[in-house]
Amino acid sequence: MANFSSFSPNDIEAPETKFSEIFKYVKGDTGPQLRLTLTDEDTSTATDLTGATVKLHLRPEKGGATLFSKTLYVNPAAAESIKGIAVVNWAAGDLDITPGNYHGEIEVVRSSGVRETLFDVLKFKIRDDFA
């Protein structure tokens, strides 16, 4: 199972779920990109993403319906896809959401069709734009 190398446990909100740092954005922005490195929990080595599709599913922190699912960029070059790097390239409208706290879930579908959803949850905080 893949894991985020940069995660550390945060048992304050839910002992059964590990959270990342909080990624902070302003409503309507399209940057900065979010670069994730996926690693194997057992070996601590990069997850081979060759031929895989990686998605981010975003929903409100309190639960409810998924607001959107976004396919992350994985460099298809063989020397790069084995590094476990997936990039969120925000597009216009992606972060045009109600200010507040959100959870992101990462899902990897391998070329074989095997689907893995990472247990770790990404945390996002969106604030209103001043102008």
Separation CA 22–CA 9 (nearest Å): 13
* DSSP of 105-130: EEEEE-TTS-EEE-SSEEEEEEE---
Domain limits for position 60? 2-8+18-127
* Sheet strands side by side (includes 34-40): 2-4, 34-40, 85-88
Q: What is the pTM of this model?
A: 0.82
What are the tens digits of pLDDT across the range 16-67? 445 558 999 999 999 999 999 999 888 889 999 999 999 999 999 998 999 9
CATH number at residue 29: 2.60.40.10
13 in a structural domain? no
Split into its structural domains, the chain has a count of: 1
Domain presence at residue 77: yes
pLDDT in tens, 65-124: 999 999 999 999 989 999 999 999 999 999 999 999 999 999 999 999 999 999 889 999
